[in-house]
């Protein structure tokens, strides 16, 4: 069981590493509408997941029919997530949009598990979450201060309004992320394989997302660079990433899985610095250290004494 949990953590960390490349990849195709890149990446990945797991989905169709609410809820949440996430980055900036979206997901996830599944929130999770949120906030502060140097005074009010709206969209993305992670975990706990769970939800989402490309997808394949970026986003971070994420959900709670995804903004920030040339101050570096502490608390089992008793 311990080996399965360790493998699940490793799979989710690899998935986070792949997801972290999306912001940098999208930077190479700025002419693509954020709604289009989100809809295509998640929609095409959904079709790939459904095709590769079609036999499994067909085999487990009776089980899937018994959980229509989870299937529809998860599918709708998956469809909402990329639209809100990429729009949030477009309006509030890559740093703030990513931070808000990913930092809020573990909170929403633990709320679902506490209110719906009646799970007890562990001290380890709360301490880890506190380190993670503080780390995310510091990274956002560090990068935001750099961006403020380029503000044009007469457009500052409009920029701030766009940022606020971007933050709201980030919260919506975080909620959607938590909902489909929770829904996927519930389906797995009810005996449905991770492949069938992910493929069915993503397949449903693709039906909702792909038609929107008739309106927003003009530039997806307008240039060779746009084409490469679009295909990469769909196949590598989305398709492969969510295969790994689905495996991870088989062996650990959704709240822990979403907490581990806080690694994504750290890697995304490093890629932005190395590849794109973005800069941020020492607060950002401190924030990354705190997020690594957050992740270490989830991966390394440390004995903690409570009232004379030892707990892990």
What is the per-residue pLDDT across 102-122, written as a single tens digit (0 to 9) for each?
Answer: 777 877 887 777 788 777 777
What is the per-residue pLDDT across 45-100, written as a single tens digit (0 to 9) for each?
Answer: 999 999 999 999 999 999 999 999 999 999 999 999 988 988 887 787 766 777 77
Integer Cα distance of 226 and 234 in angstroms: 12
- Owner of token pair 């250290």: 289
Radius of gyration of the chain (CA): 19
- The answer to pTM > 0.85 is no
**Average pLDDT per consecutive 10 residues, the chain (312 residues; last block may be shorter):** 76 90 83 88 92 92 93 94 85 73 79 78 80 77 50 48 80 90 89 90 94 90 92 93 87 80 78 73 79 72 48 43
Output the six-digit token pair for 165. 């709206």
Output the six-digit token pair for 236. 């590598």
Q: What is the pLDDT of residue 69?
A: 94
Q: What is the pLDDT of residue 277?
A: 72
Q: Which alpha helices (H) appear in the chain, and where do they start and end?
A: 2-19, 21-27, 34-52, 54-59, 61-65, 68-92, 94-115, 123-148, 156-189, 194-209, 213-216, 224-233, 241-249, 254-260, 263-271, 282-299
Q: Choose among 236, 269, 256, 301: nearest CA to 14.
A: 236
Burial tier of 119 (Cβ tally within 10 Å: 0-12, 13-18, 19+): middle
Integer Cα distance of 114 and 132 in angstroms: 19
Q: What is the pLDDT of residue 95?
A: 66
């Amino acid at each position: 069981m311990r080996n399965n949990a360790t493998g699940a953590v490793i799979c989710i960390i690899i998935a986070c590493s792949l997801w972290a490349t999306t912001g940098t990849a999208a930077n190479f195709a700025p002419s693509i509408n954020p709604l289009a890149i989100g809809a295509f990446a998640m929609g095409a990945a959904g079709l790939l997941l459904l095709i590769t797991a079609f036999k499994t989905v067909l085999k487990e169709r009776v089980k899937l029919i018994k959980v229509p609410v989870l299937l529809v809820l998860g599918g709708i949440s998956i469809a909402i997530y990329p639209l809100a996430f990429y729009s949030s980055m477009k309006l509030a900036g890559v740093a703030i949009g990513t931070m808000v979206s990913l930092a809020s997901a573990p909170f929403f996830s633990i709320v679902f598990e506490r209110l719906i599944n009646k799970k007890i929130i562990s001290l380890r999770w709360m301490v880890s979450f506190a380190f993670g949120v503080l780390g995310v906030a510091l990274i956002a502060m560090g990068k935001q201060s750099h961006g403020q140097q380029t503000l044009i005074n007469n457009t500052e009010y409009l920029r701030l309004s766009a940022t606020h709206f971007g933050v709201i969209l980030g919260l919506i993305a975080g909620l959607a992320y938590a909902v489909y992670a929770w829904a996927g975990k519930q389906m797995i706990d009810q005996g449905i394989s991770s492949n069938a769970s992910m493929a069915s939800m993503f397949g449903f989402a693709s039906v909702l997302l792909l038609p929107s490309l008739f309106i927003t997808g003009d530039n997806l394949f307008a240039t060779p660079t746009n084409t490469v970026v679009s295909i990469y986003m769909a196949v590598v971070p989305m398709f492969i990433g969510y295969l790994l994420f689905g495996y991870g959900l088989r062996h650990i709670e959704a709240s822990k899985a979403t907490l581990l995804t806080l690694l994504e903004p750290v890697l995304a920030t490093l890629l932005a610095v190395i590849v794109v040339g973005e800069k941020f101050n020492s607060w950002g570096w401190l924030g990354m250290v705190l997020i690594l502490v957050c992740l270490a608390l989830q991966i390394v089992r440390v004995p903690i004494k409570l009232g004379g008793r030892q707990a892990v």
